[in-house]
């Protein structure tokens, strides 16, 4: 069922009305004086302005980060010393997790209970990479009696971090923690839809003792501030999370400078349910996987493929569950689906719903909840009998919309799972573990969960294949990205070199 209680929209206390950049240890407005409005998704009214960064602001931020890298202590500090700062950051994040969640919910429309979990994950990211950097070991290779060769790992330099508007604070921490742990200095460009929680990093880092200039933040539009950051010759690395078309643009812009790239892009992940699966568990996972975080999640299982012998029953149960999901005020702890992030994105999702009505059978949702006449609200929407040629099967929607499609056998399930341009995640449900492993390995995706929903071990690689990304992050792979390995070769004993020209 949906909530029918009418509530006044929640507005956090002490809400800032203007968000500035943070460059070389101090807040700044744009050199040009340009700003843009920031909306909350419940009222769709502006609540603040943000400094709109341009090339000159990015240049100042990169210059500050470069000075901090070449002249400051951070890159040469012992791993244990950097880890102490990272753990203080984690402590400060945990100490204000309720405030972080409140701001994130107000800015993004994410349900408050889910926003709180994201704030705690952000703290855990810093703790995790504090441990990783202290435990980091590099190789040494010995040629007995002749030579020893060892690897010297060095921070790469200034890293440009471009983050998305879904769960922004947590995803910012996902990049900031390993970059800082590795000894890099950074320039963060948060998403223009959701800059509020990013504005808290400056105070957190300053209080934790991060040296001046190590962290810099430039707000702005992607085509301006983001593009300037990618194209700037002073950034050695770009880590980007966002949609695939933007990733392709970044790839082209970074090419002249041969920058290191790590990009997690779009997804259209399959959930494959065989008839021998624990259908109750599969149903719980499939419903949660596409409707949690308002469906605005990269790893959402937005295509549910079900074996024909149990398909009709599964569709009926899935639709029933979707109809009962509580849609409402994001600040209400009872809410399971809140408001989509921005009216532009909301209209985009609604266009896909209308497209779907002409491509498949609508069995749940498909419109605005009656009790929510304002704001970016959409009923959890379920389409059944979706053919693989349908746009709602092929294209990323990034909202609370799911496509259900039947399959006959394992071969067809794999073919359907792989019949899209994306390859970020996949989910397989079966009691036959031999088949489960076989299908999981056949799915073209960077990550597959077998009889599980999206529960991630931070030590494992995260990333996609095909149009879903480039590179991997997570655990030591993140440290690999933010560092450069230098091989040092040392001769033991006499040197025997052919004497060219020595006659």
Catalogue the active-site residues: 264, 298
CA dihedral 440, 442, 444, 445 (to 10 degrees): 20
Residue 291 and residue 72: Cα distance in Å, rounded?
45
Residue 378 and residue 327: Cα distance in Å, rounded?
8
Residue 408 and residue 288: Cα distance in Å, rounded?
25
Task: Give me the residue label for tokens 């949690």.
Answer: 292
Contact between 2 and 325 under an 8 Å Cβ cutoff? The reply is yes
**How open is the CA angle 343-345-350, to the nearest 5 degrees?**
90
**DSSP track, 104-157:** HHHHH---HHHHHHHHHHHHHHHHHHHHHHHH----EEEETTTEEEEEEEEE-S
What secondary structure, in 3-state letters, does 212-245 show? CCCEEECCCCHHHHHHHHHHCCCCCEEEEECCHH
According to DSSP H, which parts of 12-78 are helical? 55-70
Residue 279 and residue 310: Cα distance in Å, rounded?
9
Whose CA is closest to 64, among 238, 213, 218? 213
Contact between 430 and 276 under an 8 Å Cβ cutoff? The reply is yes
Whose CA is closest to 449, among 477, 419, 429? 429
Contact between 488 and 446 under an 8 Å Cβ cutoff? The reply is no
In Å, the largest CA–CA distance within the chain is 97
3-state secondary structure of 405: strand
Whose CA is closest to 136, among 502, 491, 475? 475
């Amino acid at each position: 069922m949906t909530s029918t209680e009418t509530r006044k929209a929640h507005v956090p206390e002490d809400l800032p009305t203007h968000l500035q950049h943070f460059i070389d240890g101090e807040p700044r407005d744009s050199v040009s004086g340009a700003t843009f409005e920031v909306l909350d998704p419940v009222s769709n009214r502006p609540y603040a302005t943000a400094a709109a960064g341009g090339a000159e602001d990015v240049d100042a931020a990169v210059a500050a980060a470069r000075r901090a890298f070449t002249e400051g202590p951070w890159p040469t500090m012992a791993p244990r010393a950097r880890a102490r700062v990272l753990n203080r950051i984690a402590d400060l994040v945990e100490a204000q997790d309720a405030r972080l969640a409140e701001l994130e919910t107000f800015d993004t429309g994410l349900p408050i209970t889910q926003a709180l979990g994201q704030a705690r994950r952000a703290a855990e990211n810093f703790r995790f990479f504090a441990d990783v950097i202290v435990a980091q070991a590099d190789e040494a290779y010995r040629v007995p009696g002749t030579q020893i060769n060892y690897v010297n790992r060095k921070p790469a330099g200034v890293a440009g971090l471009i983050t998305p508007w879904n769960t922004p604070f947590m995803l910012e921490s996902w990049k900031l923690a390993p970059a800082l742990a590795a000894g890099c200095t950074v320039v963060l460009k948060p998403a223009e839809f959701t800059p509020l929680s990013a504005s808290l990093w400056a105070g957190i880092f300053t209080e934790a003792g991060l040296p001046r200039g190590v962290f810099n933040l430039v707000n702005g539009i992607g085509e301006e501030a983001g593009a300037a950051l990618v194209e700037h010759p002073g950034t050695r690395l770009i880590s980007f999370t966002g949609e695939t078309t933007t990733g392709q643009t970044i790839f082209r812009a970074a090419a002249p400078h041969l920058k290191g790239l790590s990009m997690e892009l779009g997804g259209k992940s399959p959930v494959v349910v065989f008839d021998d699966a624990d259908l109750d568990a599969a149903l719980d996972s499939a419903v949660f996987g596409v409707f949690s975080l308002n469906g605005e999640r990269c790893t959402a299982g937005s295509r549910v493929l079900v074996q024909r012998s149990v398909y009709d029953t599964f569709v009926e149960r899935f639709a029933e569950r979707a109809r009962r999901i509580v849609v409402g005020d994001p600040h209400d702890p009872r809410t399971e689906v809140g408001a989509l992030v921005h009216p532009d994105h909301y209209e985009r999702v609604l266009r896909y719903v209308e497209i779907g009505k002409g491509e498949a059978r609508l069995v749940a949702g498909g419109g605005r909840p009656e009790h929510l006449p304002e704001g970016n609200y959409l009923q959890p929407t379920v389409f059944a009998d979706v053919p693989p040629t349908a746009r709602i099967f092929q294209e990323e929607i990034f909202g609370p919309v799911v496509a259900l499609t039947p399959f006959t056998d394992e071969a067809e399930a794999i073919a359907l799972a792989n019949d899209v341009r994306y390859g970020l995640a996949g989910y397989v449900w079966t009691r036959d573990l031999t088949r489960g492993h076989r299908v999981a390995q056949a799915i073209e995706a960077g990550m597959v969960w077998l009889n599980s929903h999206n529960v991630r071990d931070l030590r494992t690689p995260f990333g996609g294949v095909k149009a879903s990304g480039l590179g991997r992050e997570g655990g030591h792979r993140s440290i690999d990205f933010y560092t450069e390995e230098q091989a040092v070769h040392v001769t033991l004993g006499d040197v025997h070199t052919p004497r060219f020209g020595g006659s």
